[in-house]
Structure 1
Amino acid sequence: MHNYTVEYLFNGEPRTHTFELNQPELPMHEAAMHLLQLHWGDAENSLVMPTADSTPEEILEQAERVGLTRIEVVGRAG
């Protein structure tokens, strides 16, 4: 398992979150998907979540539409 620290803006406010994942890398679009799940994973409106066949660019665009910007993976441990 690896711990990935992600810094981002949520509706303009700086936030940091650490994800524990079993993968060797965390590309930015996958970090965005994890953040979408973190903030809206249990939302009643499933339209917030990208579809399974979304491209990395579409995932990042969707994240930006709902207030997740400046997503950056800043650290990895483990």
Structure 2
Amino acid sequence: MCIYSLEYLFNGEPRTQRLEVEQSSLPVHEAAMHLLQLHFGDAENSLIMPSAESTPDEILAQARLMGLTQIKVTNQPG
């Protein structure tokens, strides 16, 4: 398992989230998807979430639209 620190702004407020996943790298668009699920996964409107066919750019655009910006992924020593 790899541990990542996600630093980002949520509606302009700085946030940090720790994420543990099996993959050895975590691209920013995948981190954005995790953050969308974290903040909006329980939302009644499933249209908020990007589809499985969404491109990395589409995922990042949706994240920005929902207030998730300046996402930085850092690999943490495990």
TM-score using structure 1 length: 0.96
> Percent of counterpart pairs with the same letter?
65
Which amino acid is 2:4 matched to? Y
Corresponding residue for 2:63? 63
Measured against aligned partners, the alpha-carbon deviations of 1:21-78 in whole angstroms (never above 9, x if no partner) come to 0100000000000000000111111011000000000000000000000001023333
Corresponding residue for 1:27? 27
Structure 2 unpaired stretches of 5+ = none
Corresponding residue for 1:42? 42
- Which ranges of 4 or more aligned residues in structure 1 deviate by more than 6 Å? none
RMSD: 0.8
TM-score using structure 2 length: 0.96
Structure 1 unpaired stretches of 5+ = none
Aligned residues: 78
